Structure 1
Amino acid sequence: MTLSLPIPRRKCEGYATSWGSATLPIWSHTWRHAPRSSIDSPSTRGCASSAENSWPASTQSRADLGMAEMTDGAPATVAATDAWPPPLRVRRMPAKDPIVRRLWRRLQGDGAVGTPFLTYEWCAALADVPESCPGFEVLVACRENEPVGLFPVEWIRADGRPALVGPAGWRWLAPDHMDAVAPASERPAVARALARHLRRSRDWDVADFQGLDAEGALASALRNELVPPHFVVAVRKDPSPVVVMGPRSDQELLPSRNLRQQVRRGLRVAERHGGGLSVVSDPETLPGLLEVMMRLHNARFGEASEVFATPARRRFHLLAARRMAAVGAARVYHLRSADGADAGLLYAFAHGPRLYYYSMGIAPDQAQSPGRTLLGQAVLHGAAEGFEEFDLLRGDHEYKRRFAHGERMDVTVRALRLTPRALAFSTPVLLRWLARRPRRSCR
C-alpha cells in the first residue's frame, strides 16, 4: 500500500516521524514548480498549491499532468494509517485547460469513463463549439495539487430567472448513464466531493441532473447532500431499454418471429432494388452521412426535436462524430433503397462492450419501415461483431420496446435551493417543474 503523506513546513531532508502503526517509505525532496501558467492561472489556482503545504503527488502523475516537478533525495520513512485520507477539494476549470485535457485522457485510458457521453472526444467537441454550450465548465476534484476525478457541468444564468446547473449539454443532448469520471476506487469519494461542492455553491438555484446512472456514485452523493431543509428534491427513474447480444442466435436476439421476418424482408426489398445496408465508421466519410441523417431527422420531427435544431448544435455533432470515429467510437448504419437513394440512417456509438443507439433519420414515403429494418440489422450486425449489449438509451417508445430484452436504469435528480431569488421567481411553477417527468427526447 502506498500513501501520500503530509510534509511539515520545514525542509524534510532525512525527516522521519512516528504516526500510527504502518511505516511506509516516502522520499525526502525539494520542489521545483512548473511555470505559473500551468499551475497558478485563475482556473487552476488552489488546485496546485505551494509545495510546503501540499500532499506530494507521485512524480509520474505530476509529469503526466504538467503541474509540478519533484526531484528525489534520500528515502525516509513516515508511519501512517488508513484513517487519515487526504481531503478532496473541487475546482471549477475551463474545459480547454491543458490540465483538464491531460487528466481526462489519462482517466479515459485507464477505463474510468463509463458512457460515450463522458468521453474526452465528445466533451472536447462541445467545448470547441462554445455557442452550443456557453456555460460549460469542468468540476475537477483534487487531492491537494493532484487531480483525481472530474465531471462536466453547464451553468445557465438569465436575468430575472433562477440560475440552473446540470450535466454539460443536458437540455438538448440528453446524455445518459452519467457518473463521476474517476478510477473505480476513487469514484465514491470524488462523487461526494462534487456533490458537496454543488451544495455549497451559491451560483445555482435549480439543479437538473438528468441521465445519471441509478447505481452510480454521483446519483447517490447528490441524493445524500441535497437534502431538506435547504433544498426541495425530486428523484425520478428513467429506464433505458437494452438488447442483450453476445453469442446468441437470431431467434434469441429478435425473439418475435414477426419482427425477425419484418427486419429480414426490409433488407431483402432494399437489396432487390439495388440498395442495401452499409456500416460506416471512417472519420472522413461519416460526417457527410451524419449531415444527411440530421436533415432527415429534422424534416420528420421539426420543432419537436432539439438535438440537431441549431447550426451550432449540428456543428458540434459533426465535430464530435469525426473525433469519435477516429478512435472507433462512432458509426452510421446506412440503408439505401432503389438507385442508392437514402432510405434511412442510424447513428450509434461503440463504447466498451456496448453499442448505443443515439438517433435516426428516415426518408419520407419509404415502404417496409426502414427504421425497424435499420435497428434490427444494427442489432444483428453488432452481435456478429461481438458486442454484448445494444443500449437504446432513454425514451419510452413503442418501437424500442419491441426490440428490448430488459432495461438499464437512470435517474433524474432535481433540486430547488430555497433561496429568496429562487422563491421569488414563482414557487408553484418551480415545484411543478420539479415534479414533472423529464421530457422524452426525439433523438
Structure 2
Amino acid sequence: MNAVAFEYGARAATDFLDAHRLSARTPFQTCGWWRAWIREAAEAEGTTPVLVHMARGDRPTLVVGLQLHQDGGTALLRPLSWPWADYNEVAEVGDAPPTGPEPDIEGLAEAIDRCQREFGARLELSNLIADGPLLRAVSELGATSWPSDTVFRLDLTDPDIVRRVSERRDMRRKRRRIERLGKLRLTCADTAERVVARLPAFIELHTQQWRHRPDAVAPFDGGAVDRTYAAVAAEPSSAARIHELWLDETLLAGWFGFWHERTYYAYRSAYHLGHGRDSPGHLLTAAMVTELAAQGTDTFDLTRGAYAYKLELPSSRAPTMTASREQPRRA
C-alpha cells in the first residue's frame, strides 16, 4: 500500500525540507535550492508550494516538488521553482545508494494523480529529464509530452574535447593579447560562506552588463531575484559555486553555478563590458573546463538555451521534455 502525503504551503514545505535530507537528481531538487526558492521567490511568483511524497515499505520515499497557480479560473500545477530551474525531476528522502532499487514509477504516478484530483488542477511540467522517473510516471497517466528546450553538455572525460575548448586558436590569441595587460587567474568560491561573500561582486558585474538591455531575463534589481540568489548561496546543500576570472585585481567574468554529482551546472554568467573584445566569458569557460577536468568532474553542463557561444563549443545536445495532463475530476 502506498502512503501519499501533501505538504501544502510555504511553511509546511520548508518544515518538511528542514526535517529531511534529500538525494537530488540535479541541483534544482536539493533541499537548499527548494528551501531558498520557497522562502524568497514563491510569494513573488504568486504560487503556492506543494511537496508530494510517496512511501512504500520496500522502495525509497520519492518527493515531487510542485507549485500551484491560478490561471484565470483554472488551477495549474507546475514544477516547483518553475521557470527558474533548468531541470525538473523527483528527489529521494535519505542517501540514495549508487545502485539502488528501481524507482516506484507506478506509485509515483498514483501520487501525482491524487495530487491533481485533490486540487482539481491541470498538470504542466516542463524541462523534465528525458527518460527520467517523473516523465515516465506522468506518461503512465496518459500525459502528452513533447520536447521543451535543448541542453548542451561538454564531456570532460574526453581529453580531446577539453583540449578543443581550452586551446582553441582564437582563445589562445585573445589570451595572449589580454595577458599583455597583466596576469590572468581563476578563482572559485566553493563553500557557502565564500559564495555569499563573492555574490555581491557577481551581481554588480551582471547588473552592469545587462542594465540597459531590454532582453534581460530576471534582472537583479534589489528584489526577489537578489534575495533568492543570496538564499541559495547561503545553503550548503545547494552546492553553489562562483568561478571568477581576474586580470590582476580586475574582475573580468564570473559564473554562478552548481557542482553536483561530478557535474558542473553553469547557471548564470556575467562579464566586464570594458573587456568585451577579448571574450572574457569564453576565456573563463576555457579555464574552468581545464581545471574542472583535472579535478575529476565528468560533465560541464551548459544547461538550456541555444545561445551562440554554446553552439561554438564541441558540446553534445539533448532535449528536455514538457508533459501536460488535463484537469481530472476532483476526488
Structure 1 partner of 2:136: 220
**Does the CA-based 8 Å contact 2:52-2:111 persist in structure 1?**
yes
2:278 maps to 368
Shift of 1:381: 1.2
Mapping 1:18-417, distance limit 5 Å? 86-93=1-8, 94-97=12-15, 99-103=16-20, 105=21, 107-108=22-23, 113-129=24-40, 130-133=42-45, 134-143=47-56, 148-157=61-70, 160-171=72-83, 173-181=84-92, 184-205=101-122, 207-227=123-143, 233-246=144-157, 248-249=158-159, 251-255=160-164, 260-276=168-184, 277-301=186-210, 302-309=213-220, 311-324=223-236, 329-337=239-247, 340-366=249-275, 367-417=277-327
| Cα pair 1:180 1:187 within 8 Å, conserved | no
Letter of the 1:274 counterpart: G
| Secondary structure in structure 2 of the residue aligned to 1:176 | coil
Instruction: Check the 8 A contact 2:3/2:54 in 1, yes or no.
Output: yes
| Structure 2 SS opposite 1:417 | coil
Give 3-state SS (helix, strand or coil) of 1:255's partner. Answer: helix
What does residue 48 of structure 1 align with?
A: none
- Sort the Cα spacing of 1:256 and 1:372 in 2 relative to 1 into closer, same or farther, 3 A: closer
Quote how far apart the aligned CAs of 1:198 are: 3.9
The alpha-carbon distance between structure 1 residues 282 and 334, as it changes in their structure 2 partners (threshold 3 A), is same
1-structure distance, mates of 2:318, 2:126? 14
Deviation (angstroms), 1:265: 4.1
| Structure with the higher strand share, 1 or 2 | 2
SS state of the match for residue 375, structure 1?
Answer: helix
Distance 1:298 1:304, change over 3 A: farther
**Distance in structure 1 (CA, Å) of the matches to 2:165 and 2:195:** 32
State the Cα deviation string for residues 148-196 of structure 1 (Å, max 9, x = none).
22111111126x353322111212x133152353655334244223332
CA distance in 2, matches of 1:120, 1:90: 18
Letter of the 1:208 counterpart: E
Query: Deviation at 1:137?
Result: 2.3
Find the aligned partners of 2:172 and 2:238 in 1 and give their Cα distance.
27
1:239-292 Cα deviation digits (max 9, x unpaired): 31110012x43x4324379x6233344444444423522222243332243233
Does the C-alpha gap of structure 1 residues 300 and 256 become closer, same or farther in structure 2, counting only changes over 3 Å?
closer
- CA contact under 8 A between 2:145 and 2:321: conserved in structure 1? no
Letter in 2 for 1:96: T
Alignment length (residue pairs): 312
Counterparts of 2:88 and 2:68, CA distance in 1: 20
1:421-432 → structure 2 map (5 Å cutoff):
none
Alignment check: 8 A CA contact 1:149 1:190 kept: no
Off by >6 Å, runs of 4+ in structure 1:
none
Distance 1:416 1:365, change over 3 A: farther
Give the TM-score of the pair, scaled to structure 2: 0.82
Moved more, 215-224 or 298-307: 298-307
Work out which structure has the larger RCO, using CA pairs closer than 8 Å and 6 or more positions apart in sequence. Answer: 2
Given that 2:50 and 2:65 are in contact with CA atoms closer than 8 Å, whether structure 1 keeps it comes out as yes
RMSD over aligned Cα atoms: 2.9
CA distance in 2, matches of 1:269, 1:161: 59
> Matches of 2:92 and 2:273 in 1, distance apart?
41
CA contact (8 A) 1:92 1:138 kept: yes
Q: Which protein shows a greater Rg? A: 1
* Residues 345, 360 of structure 1: 8 Å contact kept: yes
Q: Confirm or deny: 8 A CA contact 1:88 1:190 kept in the other structure.
A: no
Give a deviation string over 1:26-84, Cα, whole Å, max 9, x none.
xxxxxxxxxxxxxxxxxxxxxxxxxxxxxxxxxxxxxxxxxxxxxxxxxxxxxxxxxxx
Percentage identity across aligned positions? 21
* Counterpart residue identity of residue 322, structure 2: T
* Structure 2 residue runs without a partner (length 5+): none
Q: TM-score, normalised by structure 1?
A: 0.63
Q: Is the 8 A contact 2:203 2:220 kept in 1?
A: no
What is the DSSP-based 3-state SS (H/G/I as helix, E as strand, rest coil) of the residue aligned with 1:174?
coil
Change (3 A) 1:225 1:296: same
